[in-house]
Structure 1
Amino acid sequence: MATTDPVSTTRRTLTDPADLGTVLGVWAHPDDEAFLAAGAMAGARDAGHRVVCVTATLGEQGTDDPARWPPRRLAAVRRLELRASLAAVGVTEHHLLGVTDGTCAAESFPTRVAQLCEIVEAVAPDTIITFGPDGVTGHEDHQTVSAWATAARGLSAPRARLLYATTTEDFVRRWSPWRDAFDIFLADGLPLTTPSSALAARFDLDDGLLDRKLVALRAQASQTTGLFAAVGEARVRAWWSTEAFVSADDVGRDERRVGTWRVAA
């Protein structure tokens, strides 16, 4: 069982992924982990720590061309993309929960939490990383996975550090001019504008970690090729050069953030 005291971790902002210890990431779709935590995972692995990734679904609805990419075909491709993406940051341990994309909220909450508890107990993480209650983008799958991970931590690793991915003021400022072209945020009030003073962890990625993150993102080609083509690598690097997290112990659930979206963003 992990021994990290969650109260003590809120008193300073972590800036080095090496301080995360054993990491368990819990995400909804392939590429969530790459955008939000690839640098953190790579840095933890470089420090010799175990990193395990959990993905609820294969994101088989994540296309605007379902005739070309029917769910079964896209799921097979995204499974391979995810494997390559994780390899780029040194992660070899992965668990797929097997949920159908877009249906997380319809799943049995106790069943999925119990499934996660088994993984948490086997990994004994020092740090669990996932979405916050807002789901970062407001996607219902993201919000539901956040709730599963939070419950599993409470039951199976209450002393583990639980970090929720968030968006900083810097990110919002850089991204705002492109909002109309990439309107991925599905609720009013998103993206969150989290001040630096509220962060439990902020990793400003050096060139080496950022290079690996870009490789991990490019590996998720079915989802990221259009982004790179539209805005260019330099802008993608700037947008995703910081990975920011708040402590779950400092976050109250805001029901205004909870949406009802079912289709993968």
Structure 2
Amino acid sequence: MSVSALGTVLGIWAHPDDEVYLSAGLMATARDAGQRVACVTATLGEHGTGDPARWPPARLAAVRAHELRASLAVLGVTEHHVLGLPDGGCAEQPADAVVARLAAIVDDVRPDTIVTFGPDGVTGHADHQAVSRWATAAHARAAPAARLLHPVLTHEFLARWQAVYDRLDVFLADGLPHAVPAAALSLHVPFDDALADRKLVALRAQATQTSGLVALLGEQTMRDWCATESFVDAARESTRTWGSWRPDVRRVPDFAAWDHQC
């Protein structure tokens, strides 16, 4: 399957930067081909910092909203919806009400393809997992014929980048990372140099979350590490129950400013 076969694409994510880490190449490729791409972000990631004195929630939310618009503009995406839910508190929101809001957006966009987290939330973050449940329910309610894709990591990708993951606090629950063989993929987005550069620019636009990571890894490593996007059809994903993690005062990841990463 190619990106051109996806038709109109709707991404449903938890925090600003989820969409760019996990699907920037897909979105940019689709937009370049003239396809409609819309994006939903549940929260503005107002607690995504290890320095809350410098970045109180209201200030960080405002800055991250600007960063997200700039990042999406790099990819050619201008259709964007923010649900305004509390960062770190998605799992406590009334699911029926949120699903109804998402279903209304799905009904308006009429996507051929919805892209969102799998049940594991990729990293195990409870916000990611809640968004996965909501998006799955909205898909069933408003667009059951649409393709539902989940981003995944392959065994081959993890083997190549193990040294990077060893340096970072990325996977936040037991049993992760969840990986699949390359043969199980429904879609692998091909990256050339231009698309890899474009994704790096989109990532750097969200500087409150990515500048520290770029400094740590180096720009070339960051670019190459993120120049891979793979997806499976939701029906082929594991139905097991995953552990989850929520930010609190007892545990702050080493890269708290990057705590919603892919």
Asked if 1 retains the 8 angstrom alpha-carbon contact of 2:173 and 2:245, the reply is: no
Q: Of 79, 90, 97, which aligns to 1:111?
A: 97
Indicate the larger mover: 232-241 or 167-176.
167-176
> CA shift at 1:187, angstroms?
1.3
Please name the residue that 1:141 is paired with: 127
2:243 is the alignment partner of 1:258: yes
Q: Are 2:186 and 2:232, in contact at CA under 8 Å, matched by a contact in 1?
A: yes
Which residue matches 1:11? Answer: none
Q: Secondary structure at the match of 1:54?
A: strand
Q: 1:234 aligned to 202, 217, 220, which one? A: 220
State how far apart, in whole Å, the 2-side matches of 1:258 and 1:88 are: 34
Whichever residue aligns with residue 244 of structure 2, its letter is: G
TM-aligned CA deviation for residue 262 of structure 1: 4.1
One-letter identity of the residue aligned with 1:94? H
Distance in 1 (CA, whole Å) between partners of 2:32 and 2:5 is: 11
Aligned to 2:233: 247
Of 50, 73, 76, the match for 1:64: 50
Residue matched to 1:4: none
Code of the residue aligned with 2:183 in structure 1: it is S
Moved more, 234-243 or 55-64: 234-243
Alignment partners' CA distance in 1, 2:14 and 2:38: 14
How far apart are the structure 1 equivalents of 2:178 and 2:221? Answer: 20
Counterpart-to-counterpart distance in 1, 2:224 and 2:194? 14
Between stretches 185-194 and 150-159, larger displacement belongs to: 185-194
- In structure 2, distance between residues paired with 1:165 and 1:234: 23
Check the 8 A contact 1:133/1:258 in 2, yes or no.
no
The alpha carbon displacement at 1:253 in A equals: 2.0
Residues 119-142 of structure 1, C-alpha deviation per residue, up to 9 Å, x if partnerless?
Answer: 000000010000000000000000
Partner of 1:54: 40
Matches within 5 A, 1:74-89: 74-89=60-75
1:207-226 superposed matches below 5 A: 207-226=193-212
Cα deviation per residue 1:67-109 (whole Å; 9 max; x = unaligned)? 1101001001000000000000000000000101000000000
1:87 partner amino acid: A
Measure the CA separation in 2 of the matches of 1:64 and 1:165: 27
SS at match of 2:48: coil
Q: Deviation at 1:212?
A: 1.2
**Alignment RMSD:** 1.2
Structure 1's 115 and 161: CA in aligned 2 closer, same or farther, altered over 3 A? same
Amino acid at match of 2:56: P
Between Structure 1 and Structure 2, how many residues are aligned? Answer: 250
CA distance in 2, matches of 1:218, 1:34: 10
**Which runs of no fewer than 5 residues in structure 1 stay unpaired?**
1-13
The match for 1:30 among 16, 35, 40 is 16
Of stretches 85-94 and 244-253 in structure 1, the one that deviates more from structure 2 is 244-253
CA contact (8 A) 1:56 1:145 kept: yes
TM-score normalised by length of structure 1: 0.91
Q: Per-residue deviation at 1:213?
A: 0.7
3-state SS, counterpart of residue 224 of structure 1: helix
- 1:196-237 residue CA offsets vs partner (Å, 9 max, x unmatched): 111111112112221111111000100000111111121112
Counterpart amino acid of 2:101?
Q
Aligned counterpart, 1:40: 26
**Sequence identity of aligned pairs in percent?**
59
> Post-superposition shift, 1:191?
1.6
Unaligned runs of 5+ in 2: 249-258
Partner AA of 2:84 in structure 1:
G
| Residues 166 and 149 (structure 1), Cα distance of their counterparts in 2 relative to 1, 3 Å cut | same
Structure 2 counterpart of 1:6: none
